[in-house]
Amino acid sequence: MEWAERSMPVLRAIRERFTATRPLQGRRVAACLQVTAETAGLIATLVAGGAEVTLAASNPLSTQDDTAAALVEEYGVGVFARAGVSLDTYYQHINAALDIGPDLVLDEGCDLVNTLHTSRTELLDQVRGGTEATTTGVIRLHQMARERVLRFPMVAVNDTPTKRMFDNRYGTGQSTLDGLMRATNIMLAGRTIVIAGYGACGTGLAERARGMGAQVVITEIDPVKALDATLQGYRVMPMSEAAAIGDVFITVTGSRDVLRAEHFAVMKDGALLANSGHFDVEIDVAALASMAVERRTWIRHQVDEYVLPDGRRLILLAEGRLVNLGVADGHPAAVMDMACANQALTVAWLAERLPLKNDHGSGAQERPELEPRVHPVPTEIDTEVARLKLDSMKIKIDTPTPAQEEYLRSWRLGTQ
Ligand code: NAD
Ligand code: SAH
C-alpha cells in the first residue's frame, strides 16, 4: 500500500485536504471495488474524510488478501473479500458490506447497486447517491434510469476524461499484457493478437501490443470504431475469420459470448484466450468446457488448458475473468491515482449536495435535489484532477492571452 501511494500524488493531496476538512464526517459508505493496494489508498482517503466505510470485492478473483487484512487491521474498515471465492460468497460479501446501511455507495460493475435494488430494498430509502467506476456499470445504470427503477443519483466516474482516457486506455493496455505475460511468459513479437472491441480499453491494448511487435487484428461491431482501427493500420475482420489465425485472443467489449463454440471449433492448437472486459461472460467458458474432452490446470497461476476431441489445446486464462486483475496486480498505481482521485472528490461532492435526511443545518439543502439518474462528474473535478496530476509531474502548460480568450469567444471576425 505504501508502494502504491508513492505513485498516487493526487490522491495523497486529496487525503491531506480531507484530513483537515472532514467532508464525509458522519457518513456511512459502502464500496464494491477491486480490493487492491490502489483501492486501499482510496478507502483510507474516505476514512480520513470522516466516513465509516465497508468494502466488498467487485471481482471474485482479484482480491489482494494482504491488502484486505491491512485495511481491517490498520484502518478499521470492514472488508468482506477474499481471493478466489465462489459466486455465492461473492454476493454474501456484498450483502455484508451493505449491512452498514450506507448513505453513499461506490460501485464498479453495478453489482452493489443491483443488489440494493433487488434483494436489499429495505436499505434504498437511506441511500442518497453514489459513484460508478466502469463502463459496463454505467451502461446498466442508464438502463435502470430509462426503466425508471433507479432510486438514487449515480455519478458516472468512468465517463469522465481523467478516468476513461487514462485508466481504460493506458491502464488496461499495460496491465492486460502484464497479466498475459505473467501467466504464460509468452513472447508477443511476431504473434497475431486478436482484440475484440476497439473502445477505450481496446485502443490502449492494441497500441501496446503493436509496440511489443505483435500483429494486431481488431474485431468490432461499430463501423466507426472499425474504420478508426483500419486507419490506425490494424487488420479488421469478423471473429469468424480472426478465430482461425489468432495466437492470442483478448476480449474487451463489455458484451457476452464474444468468443464462443463456433470460434473454438476453428482456433489453432495452443491459442491463448483471455478477457479484460467484463465479468466472466465475454468468453463462453461453459461451451468450451462442454466441447473439451479433458481439462488440465497448469502449475502456473490461473492457466487452464482445454483439450478438444481432435487434440487441439485451447488455453484459458483467469477462468475468463479479467486477466489484468486475476493474474496480475491490475493497473499501475500512477493511473489508478486519477480514477481514485475522481471517486474521492465525487463522493465528497455528493456528500455536500446530498446531506443526510436529518441534517437540517446545511445550506446545501437549498439546492435542487439531484434526480435519480446518471450524472456526469462535475467538470471542475475532472480539471482539478488533471491539474494536480500535471503539477505532480512538474509539467506546465500555456494559458491563453486575453486576446486569444476574446477571439475564442467571438464570432464576428472572419478571414482577415
Ligand atoms: P467501450 O464502450 O469504449 O468499448 C467497447 C467496444 O466493444 C465498443 O467499441 C463496441 O462497439 C465493441 N463491441 C461490443 N460488442 C462487440 C462484439 N461482440 N465484438 C466486437 N466488438 C464489440 O468500453 P471500454 O471502456 O473500452 O470498456 C470495455 C469493457 O472493459 C467494459 O466491460 C468495461 O467495464 C471494462 N473495463 C475493464 C477494465 C480492466 O481493468 N480490465 C478497465 C476499464 C474498463
Ligand atoms: N467488476 C467487474 C468490472 C470491472 S472493470 C469485473 O471485475 O468483471 C475493471 C475495473 O477495475 C476498472 O474500473 C478499473 O478502474 C479497475 N481497476 C483496474 N486496475 C485496478 C487496480 N489496480 N486497483 C483497483 N481497481 C482497478
- Stretch 195-199: mean pLDDT: 98
- pLDDT range class, residue 300, cuts 50, 70, 90: confident
Largest CA distance in the chain: 75
pLDDT of residue 310 exceeding 90, the answer is: yes
- Stretch 133-137: mean pLDDT: 98
118 lies in the same domain as 232: no
- pLDDT range class, residue 366, cuts 50, 70, 90: low
Question: HSE on the CB side for 72, CA within 13 Å?
Answer: 13
186 lies in the same domain as 312: yes
Strand order in the sheet with 374-375: 78-80, 52-57, 28-33, 104-107, 129-132, 154-156, 374-375
pLDDT at 416: 76
Question: pLDDT tens for residues 60-92?
Answer: 999 999 999 999 999 999 999 999 999 999 999
**How far, in Å, is the centroid of ligand 1 from the Cα of 315?**
22
Q: Is residue 403 part of a domain?
A: no
Q: Which residue's CA is the nearest one to ligand 2's atom 5?
A: 134
219: its cell numbers: 474485431
Does residue 249 come out as left (phi exceeding 0), alpha (psi in the -120 to 50 range) or beta? beta
Ligand 2, residue 172: give the atom nearest the CA: 18
How far, in Å, are 19, 217, 221 from residue 238 at the CA level?
Answer: 52, 10, 9
- pLDDT range class, residue 362, cuts 50, 70, 90: low
- Stretch 25-38: mean pLDDT: 98
Q: What is the CATH number of the domain that holds 186?
A: 3.40.50.720
Single pTM value for the model: 0.96
Q: Is residue 416 part of a domain?
A: no
The finding on whether 238 has its CB within 6 A of some atom of ligand 1 is: no
Give the 3-state secondary structure of residue 325: helix
237 lies in the same domain as 115: no
Q: What is the DSSP annotation of 251-266?
A: E-SS-S-SB-HHHHTT
135 lies in the same domain as 186: no
303 lies in the same domain as 360: no
Q: Is residue 289 part of a domain?
A: yes
The finding on whether 104 has its CB within 6 A of some atom of ligand 1 is: no
Q: Is residue 408 part of a domain?
A: no
The finding on whether 251 has its CB within 6 A of some atom of ligand 1 is: no
87 lies in the same domain as 210: no
pLDDT at 401: 98
Q: What is the CATH number of the domain that holds 59?
A: 3.40.50.1480
Number of domains into which the chain is organized: 2
% of the chain exceeding 70 in pLDDT = 98
pLDDT at 359: 63
- Stretch 42-49: mean pLDDT: 98
306 lies in the same domain as 350: no
- Stretch 220-225: mean pLDDT: 98
Mean pLDDT (the chain) is: 96
For strands 272-275 and 294-297, give the pairing.
unpaired
pLDDT at 360: 55
- Which residue range(s) make up the domain with 42? 2-163+332-392
pLDDT of residue 299 exceeding 80, the answer is: no
- Stretch 281-305: mean pLDDT: 94
Question: pLDDT tens for residues 139-174?
Answer: 999 999 999 999 999 999 999 999 999 999 999 999
pLDDT at 402: 97
Cα–Cα distance measured from residue 151 to residue 116, given in angstroms and rounded to the nearest whole number: 10
- Angle subtended by helix axes 111-118 and 87-98, to nearest 10: 70
27 lies in the same domain as 114: yes
pLDDT at 126: 96
**How far, in Å, is the centroid of ligand 2 from the Cα of 62?**
9
pLDDT of residue 394 exceeding 80, the answer is: yes
pLDDT at 218: 99
pLDDT at 365: 52
